[in-house]
């Protein structure tokens, strides 16, 4: 509890620094491009269009529960895209900011938060595209949209715990970044983003639901499409927060233990 309070105080004291670093990281991604920050819109739109064409036109995927496939797909892609971006980007963030980490007064545990904040810009674009699709398809508008903020909080909390652990480990074992890339590719296909989990047998469904990303992806769809409250599946909610708490505690522990050795290795 004391560690959590100390971190929250540090977060509050360094909030301007975190915001400034996140804005700079976002700008540097497109510093040499003519379209600049417009790429944050182009990337999601192109991704959604390509997947929609492949699955709707190519494979002739039918609407799921009378919901157009492109809407169902975008609602699942939105949380996965930011989760993947945070985890993959945070893995090498300590190495990328080695010049800051070597300074004794710099709090390196804030670096994953910088990545999280910068990733929220692209996520906002994804959600804007989703809302446009919902209106274009004349689907119902509901206050359940606001429930997505809860699932976003779930996503960011889980991502932070994973990011702390992976960022620290990658300083000492550079293969971690490659393993993360492979794990995210596998996770992308085993998480029901393009396909409905109900097509699997009950035993396989129970196994797939152990993936904490399923809780978030399904939650986004329940917020924007089916309008189900998150308390309608309490056992799964308890399971998700148990896994997330474990990831957060383990990630913070690994980072704290390895942090004193960062300057020597970098």
Q: pLDDT digits over 232-261, tens only?
A: 999 999 999 999 999 999 999 999 899 888
User: For the chain, what is the radius of gyration of the CA atoms?
Assistant: 19
Domain locations along the chain = 2-265
Contacts of 114 (CB under 8 A, 6+ apart): 18, 21, 22, 25, 93
CA distance 165 to 91: 8
Is it the case that residue 39 has pLDDT exceeding 80? Answer: no
Average pLDDT score over the chain: 85
Is it the case that residue 167 has pLDDT exceeding 90? Answer: yes
pTM: predicted TM-score of the whole model, two decimal places? 0.88
HEC-encoded secondary structure of 4-45: HHHHHHHHHHCHHHHHHHHHHHHHHCCCCCCCHHHHHHHHHH
Q: Which single residue is written with the structure tokens 């600049």?
A: 36
Task: Work out the pLDDT band at 145, boundaries 50, 70, 90.
Answer: very high
Residues in the chain: 266
pLDDT value at position 147?
95
For the chain, the distance separating the N- and C-terminal CA atoms, rounded to the nearest angstrom, is 31
Is it the case that residue 31 has pLDDT exceeding 60? Answer: no
């Amino acid at each position: 509890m004391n560690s959590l309070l100390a971190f929250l105080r540090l977060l509050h004291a360094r909030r301007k620094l975190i915001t400034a670093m996140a804005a700079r990281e976002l700008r540097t991604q497109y510093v040499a491009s003519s379209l600049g920050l417009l790429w944050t819109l182009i990337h999601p739109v192109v991704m959604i269009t390509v997947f929609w064409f492949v699955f709707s036109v190519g494979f002739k995927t039918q609407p799921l529960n009378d919901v157009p496939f492109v809407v169902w797909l975008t609602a699942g892609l939105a949380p996965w895209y930011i989760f993947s971006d945070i985890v993959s980007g945070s893995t090498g963030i300590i190495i990328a900011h080695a010049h800051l980490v070597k300074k004794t007064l710099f709090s390196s545990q804030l670096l994953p938060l910088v990545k999280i904040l910068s990733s929220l810009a692209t996520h906002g674009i994804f959600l804007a595209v989703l809302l446009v699709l919902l209106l274009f398809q004349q689907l119902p508008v509901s206050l359940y949209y606001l429930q997505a903020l809860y699932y976003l909080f779930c996503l960011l909390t889980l991502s932070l715990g994973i990011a702390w652990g992976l960022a620290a480990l990658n300083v000492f074992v550079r293969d971690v970044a490659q393993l993360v890339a492979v794990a995210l590719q596998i996770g992308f296909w085993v998480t029901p983003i393009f396909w409905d989990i109900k097509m699997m047998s009950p035993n396989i469904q129970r196994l797939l639901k152990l993936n904490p990303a399923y809780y978030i992806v399904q939650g986004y769809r329940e917020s924007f499409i089916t309008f189900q409250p998150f308390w309608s599946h309490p056992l799964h909610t308890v399971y998700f927060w148990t896994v997330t708490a474990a990831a957060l505690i383990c990630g913070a522990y690994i980072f704290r233990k390895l942090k004193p050795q960062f300057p020597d290795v970098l």
